[in-house]
Structure 1
């Protein structure tokens, strides 16, 4: 078999796989609704009547959000845990995703997030120290 024939067969297989994937998007309901994707695509100046393409964008967006959330969780877990005062709080080991965790994760994808100086990164920010639960 020569190189040209192999290349043609590989292209045909790729085309078949792409066609099958696009067809499968018709049966898939992404987490992000089609209307929302269409809205933001239209807002950016893109119009497309093909539902498969809308769903492809939704799936790509869903993957991006999941990757960012996963990376932010890793940053959250890597952060030193606060000192716990009582045993009840010690049992409750909920992780709190902060804007800093999210910013670090997004920065890895080339998205720089800046928040204003008055941004409250903690539910107790700005509260009277006597009423804080921390």
Structure 2
């Protein structure tokens, strides 16, 4: 009987410690969130608040709290930076597949040319499908008689 009482007390004690730890963790999370939201007012995002407010209003979102606008601006800035970085990686991979003789000629310039294809691939990784309009000169039917274009 004594060992079951000790086991019950240990179980109760462990439960109490877990609950206290969870409450402390919740308090730490709440204070970290409060500090983060307060720091948003000191941060100047790349995307102006007015632009973010315009698109938020256009989508039907309204909030008197400027911290929410800043939060959306920071999230948007992060998204754009990640997409740009991924597009750069696609560009570098594409450049690496160019035959060596052509690549040697391009190495003199050493600039990377980011194409719509690179950007489309990067956006596709985030679930954004982009279909860009073909330019008239890029169309396979350029210079063809309009009556024979569909053939």
Q: Give 5+ residue unaligned stretches, structure 2.
A: 1-15, 143-151
Alignment of 1:36-47 (within 5 A): 36-47=51-62
Instruction: Determine the structure 2 residue equivalent to 1:130.
Output: none
Alpha-carbon distance in 2 for matches of 1:119, 1:11: 59
Shift of 1:51: 1.0
Shift of 1:81: 3.7
Specify which of 88, 92, 111 is matched with residue 128 of structure 2: 111
Counterpart secondary structure, 1:2: helix
Gaps of 5+ in 1: 127-134
In structure 1, which of residues 97, 101, 121 is the aligned counterpart of residue 114 of structure 2?
97
Q: What secondary structure sits across from 2:133 in the alignment?
A: coil
Is 1:54 paired with 2:53? no
Give the drift of 1:117.
Answer: 3.0
Match of 2:46 among 11, 28, 31: 31
Instruction: Give me the whole-angstrom Cα distance separating, in 1, the residues matched to 2:79 and 2:30.
Output: 25
- Structure with bigger helix share is 2
- Indicate whether 1:11 and 2:30 are aligned: no
Tell me the CA shift for residue 90 of structure 1. 3.7
Give the total of aligned pairs: 120
Structure 2: distance between partners of 1:116 and 1:27:
41
Higher alpha-carbon Rg: 2
Give the TM-score taking structure 1 as reference length.
0.82
State the alpha-carbon separation in 1 of the partners of residues 91 and 137 from structure 2. Answer: 17
